Amino acid sequence: MSRFRSLRCGAVLIFGLATFAFGQQRKPDPAAAEVRKVIQDGNTAWGEARVAHDRATFEKMLSPDFFVQLPEKKVSRQEFIDLISTVSPKGRLTRFDPIVLTVEAAGDAWEAVILERLEYERKSEDGKSQKGFALWVTKDKWKKTGDKWQIYSSVAVSNEIWNDNPPPLSLWAPKGA
């Protein structure tokens, strides 16, 4: 019986230590809730600007040294602004809905993981109208300078594209639903 009690005490001790070790995760930063709201509001404004191809908003929201890191290349601030502010004759962006998933302090800045739901319409080679849907995950760096928040970088983490039909995901509700 004492052997069983020793094993049971040892198991309780190991479980207790494991619980303590895993329970000692980062403490929530009290500023994170406020920063999350700022970044979500900023991303909402960004989404509206993307659909409107609003160059003035892009210029205002992106820091002077902003860049986008795609899997195959790094895109400068100017290249990115030129790309997203130009209306393509082949199609148009009709939806850009971002959701802030995580927010974490990173030195004097904040890093946020963003889920972006995009929809677009385009003409196929044979002239038929086609709908497209894209889901992107990015890691964006935001920083407050004075009283102004700006985006310093955006790193593409992952993306997937669907044609003609919306993605088979419960989070893909119609716009406004």
Question: pTM (2 decimals)?
Answer: 0.79
Residue 2 placed within a domain: no
Provide the pLDDT confidence category of residue 149 given band limits of 50, 70 and 90: very high
Residue 78 placed within a domain: yes
Provide the pLDDT confidence category of residue 176 given band limits of 50, 70 and 90: low
3-class SS at 43? helix
Q: Which domain holds residue 91?
A: 30-163
**What's the average model confidence in pLDDT over 154-173?**
91
The reported pLDDT for the residue numbered 9 is 41
Outline where DSSP puts E strands in 16-166. 62-69, 74-76, 91-106, 109-123, 129-145, 148-163
The reported pLDDT for the residue numbered 16 is 44
Give the chain's domain count.
Answer: 1
Q: Among 24-33, 80-89, 122-131, where is mean pLDDT lowest? A: 24-33
- Could you tell me the CATH number of the domain that includes residue 131? 3.10.450.50
Highest mean pLDDT among 2-16, 23-37, 71-85: 71-85
